[in-house]
Amino acid sequence: MATDAPQAVLAELYTVADFEAAAIARLDPMAREYLIGGAGDEITLRRNRAALDAVLLAPRVLRDVSRLDTRVTLFGREHALPIVLAPTGYHGLFHPGGECETARGAAMAGVTMTVSSVATTALDQVARASDARFWYQIYCQRDRAWTLDQIRIAEASGFEAFALTVDTPVLGARDREKRAHFHLPPQFRMANFPPLVGDYSPNAHHDPHDIYNPFLDASLTWKDFEWLRGHTRLPVLVKGVLSAADARLAVEHGAAGVIVSNHGGRNLDTVPATIEALPAIAEAIGDRVPILMDGGVRRGTDVVKALAFGARAVLIGRPLVYGLTVGGAAGVARVVELLSLELRQAMALLGVKSIAEIGREALWTPPGRS
Look at residue 236 in the predicted model and tell me its pLDDT.
98
Alpha helices in 27-141 (DSSP H): 29-36, 43-54, 98-109, 123-129
Q: What is the pLDDT of residue 34?
A: 96
pLDDT of residue 211: 87
- 140/137 Cα distance (integer angstroms): 10
Please give the pLDDT value at position 213: 80
Per-residue pLDDT in tens (0 to 9) along the chain, 370 residues: 679 999 999 999 999 999 999 999 999 999 999 999 999 999 999 999 999 999 999 999 999 999 999 999 999 999 999 999 999 999 999 999 999 999 999 999 999 999 999 999 999 999 999 999 999 999 988 888 989 999 999 999 999 999 999 999 999 999 999 999 998 887 776 667 666 554 555 555 456 678 888 778 899 999 999 999 999 999 999 999 999 999 999 999 999 999 999 999 999 999 999 999 999 999 999 999 999 999 999 999 999 999 999 999 999 999 999 999 999 999 999 999 999 999 999 999 999 999 999 999 999 988 876 6
Altogether, the residues listed in the chain come to a count of 370
Domains present along the chain, CATH in parentheses: 7-358 (3.20.20.70)
Task: Read off the pTM.
Answer: 0.96
Position 105 scores a pLDDT of 98
Measured distance CA(94)–CA(91) in Å, rounded = 5
Q: Which residue stretches of 2-122 are H helix?
A: 7-10, 16-26, 29-36, 43-54, 98-109
Give the pairing type, strands 236-241 and 161-165: parallel
Helix (H) or strand (E) holding 154: helix 144-156
Q: Rounded to an integer, what distance in angstroms lies between the CA atom of residue 159 and that of residue 202?
A: 29
Q: State the virtual CA torsion across 309, 315, 319, 322 in degrees, nearest 10.
A: -170
> Is 91 a residue of the active site?
no
Q: What is the pLDDT of residue 186?
A: 76
Look at residue 258 and give its three-state secondary structure: strand
Strand ranges inside the chain, DSSP E: 72-74, 77-79, 83-85, 113-115, 134-138, 161-165, 236-241, 257-260, 291-294, 313-316
Residue 190, Cβ neighbours under 10 Å: how many? Answer: 22
Report pLDDT for 63.
98
Catalytic one of 79, 91, 95, 263: 263
